[in-house]
Amino acid sequence: MEIAKVGVVGAGQMGNGIAHVLALAGYEVLLNDISQEALDGALAQIVRNLDRQVSRGKVASDDRDAALARISTTLSLAELGSTDLVIESATERETVKQAIFEDLVPHLQPHTILTSNTSSISITRLASRTDRPEKFMGFHFMNPVPVMQLVELIRGIATDEQTYQACFGVVERLGKTAASSEDFPAFIVNRILMPMINEAVYTLYEGVGNVASIDSAMKLGTNHPMGPLELADFIGLDTCLAIMNVLHDGLADTKYRPCPLLTKYVEAGWLGRKTQRGFYDYRGEVPVPTR
Ligand code: NAD
């Protein structure tokens, strides 16, 4: 089936990146959020990121202008009724995502494919609350979307082959690489990554190291480009905690229990880069460790 117009729900750090790469690949994009501020912020971020790509010679200025012209924004979910594919990328909370799908479904055309960029929530369970579980799947981008090569594609129990192939075709047109994952908590990447980040927070909590020593140990000792705490701030500590809770609940194994210190940071509203403070404080010239 031909996919020409894509709706993106949630204009946060992932939603703006998804809109960016889709528009650059030639799709018409309709970006939705409940907050006008988030929509304005997303568009400004897309302009900044495209400008950087132009200045580095990765994107021609005509292509940047054409991509920007393909992106529209809306506060109304009903307007996404005209799309062929929807990628939901709102806050990582199951009740939020379910409410979005319930509100969205009555407006959709029968052929429209519904997907979620969730990092961890069951695709099968989200799909079961819609009228089209066979046309529903996981479409999981990595952060930052314009830079990262991988997209995890997750089939729910009912996802049909045509839907999978259509999404696979979108990933190819974006010039990215798909990895196929079965629908189990946190899929492949976060099933492996998040317990490592959570363990880094335990290492901090138990005083084995401080923020600087933990990040520098993992960067220099294991050749990771970012330390685990720096990466957690980059992902968002609320998202990290939500994923650990999904692993803990979904796999019923105490080895996935979220570190109390991670919970404390989230309760403080110190969510990482997006709120200017997490394991590092980003309000000054250089990030300063908070412990
Ligand atoms: P974010 O907090 O930056 O953005 C979430 C956005 O969703 C906000 O702009 C918020 O206003 C909006 N939103 C909330 N409720 C909404 C609703 N009912 N309708 C429309 N918009 C709504 O979060 P993010 O990091 O962009 O994460 C979004 C999704 O992407 C989550 O499911 C997350 O698990 C997934 N994800 C995140 C990362 C990452 O590294 N942060 C990586 C891959 C996938």
For residue 211, give its domain range: 190-282
User: Which residue has tokens 């997490």?
Assistant: 278
Is 264 found in the same domain as 164?
Answer: no
Ligand 1 center to 210 CA (angstroms):
29
- Provide the 3-class DSSP secondary structure of residue 102: helix
Ligand 1 center to 37 CA (angstroms):
14
The model's pLDDT over 130-187, given as tens digits with 9 standing for 90+, comes to: 999 999 999 999 999 999 999 999 999 999 999 999 999 999 999 999 999 999 999 9
Decide if 288 is inside a domain.
Answer: no
Ligand 1 center to 89 CA (angstroms):
5
Question: Does the active-site annotation cover 20?
Answer: no
Using the 3D structure, point to which of 181, 216, 241 is the last residue of a domain. 181
Q: Is the CB of 117 under 6 A from ligand 1?
A: yes
In whole angstroms, give the CA distance from residue 25 to residue 126: 28
The answer to whether the peptide bond before residue 144 is cis (omega within 30 degrees of 0) is yes
Query: Which residue in the list 140, 181, 198, 230 is annotated as catalytic?
Result: 140
> What is the mean pLDDT of the segment spanning 212-233?
98
Is 71 found in the same domain as 52?
Answer: yes
Decide if 112 is inside a domain.
Answer: yes
Mutate to test the pocket of ligand 1, among 20, 21, 33, 39 (most ligand atoms within 8 A of CB): 33
> What is the mean pLDDT of the segment spanning 267-284?
98
Is 125 found in the same domain as 266?
Answer: no
Query: Which residue in the list 88, 190, 198, 230 is annotated as catalytic?
Result: 190
Nearest to 33 by CA among 52, 14, 51: 14
Q: Is the CB of 93 under 6 A from ligand 1?
A: no
Ligand 1 center to 238 CA (angstroms):
10
> Would you give the distance in Å from CA 235 to the centre of its chain?
9
Is 169 found in the same domain as 70?
Answer: yes
Is 32 found in the same domain as 88?
Answer: yes
Provide the number of structural domains found in the chain. Answer: 2
Is 156 found in the same domain as 197?
Answer: no
**Whole-number percent of the chain with pLDDT over 90:** 98
Decide if 287 is inside a domain.
Answer: no
Compute φ and ψ for 159, nearest 5 degrees: -55, 130
Is 41 found in the same domain as 152?
Answer: yes
pTM: 0.92
> What is the mean pLDDT of the segment spanning 43-67?
97
Q: Is the CB of 163 under 6 A from ligand 1?
A: no
The model's pLDDT over 91-134, given as tens digits with 9 standing for 90+, comes to: 999 999 999 999 999 999 999 999 999 998 999 999 999 999 99
1 pLDDT band, cuts 50/70/90, is confident
Is 251 found in the same domain as 133?
Answer: no
Using the 3D structure, point to which of 155, 181, 207 is the last residue of a domain. 181
Query: Which residue in the list 16, 89, 119, 120 is annotated as catalytic?
Result: 119
Is 175 found in the same domain as 73?
Answer: yes
Query: Read out DSSP for 220-282?
Result: HHH--SS-HHHHHHHH-HHHHHHHHHHHHHHH--GGGPPPHHHHHHHHTT--BGGGTBSSEE-
> What is the mean pLDDT of the segment spanning 13-42?
98
